[in-house]
Structure 1
């Protein structure tokens, strides 16, 4: 486990406003309680509370990965009315303490959904 620091900063802050994730004309997630995680030089990633997602469109994937700063990630496929996007969603279900705030949240690959709308 690596700790965020000056060489690899990670910040987490509430996202001010609405986040809506769309696939095939359906909002698979919509919230005003998203978190924005900024890691090192990567673009910010929005994490949506699991409670604000339509989980009937999610299917757990066999895929997993490990981040030395955040922990083990699980992946989910999305399916809406015949449109399937493998591995479109990830979640750190038991994140390392430095990023504990993202527990219970989901993140979406922008190129695997139709839109991640913010307002």
Structure 2
């Protein structure tokens, strides 16, 4: 996927990344998968806000890597802009490809390196007061 275009956020497609002001917790079936006071909030054009949580704050034992990958011209692929995906398996629940990370994001969004994000329609994301 290295021949894919790399686009830079701008006025026509803004992307902002900031440190989340509050604690971000990801749960599945009542089990905490991630809990962080160090998450990043990514806002992109007309898309819903995405919270990127540092891998250090994620229960990686609940994740299983998959072969699924996607490409975003603004963020990249897990390898240079390609998103690598994970499934979550907990208490008999398996949610396929609901977690993603960019191992080598494009320079404009380099802050999300070593962070993961979750599809909020399948993983419960709670944003609460930081400790």
Shift of 1:8: 0.5
Residue in structure 1 matching 2:63, options 58, 62, 65: 58
Cα deviation 1:60-109 (Å, max 9, x = unaligned): 01100100011000100001121110011011110000000000000000
Q: TM-score w.r.t. structure 1 length?
A: 0.97
Residue of structure 1 in register with 2:29 after alignment: 24
Residue of structure 1 in register with 2:93 after alignment: 83
Residue of structure 2 in register with 1:69 after alignment: 74
Q: TM-score w.r.t. structure 2 length?
A: 0.88
Q: Which runs of 4+ in 1 moved over 6 A?
A: none
CA RMSD between the two structures? 0.7
Q: Secondary structure at the match of 1:111?
A: coil
Residue of structure 1 in register with 2:126 after alignment: 117
Q: Structure 1: which 5+ runs fail to align?
A: none
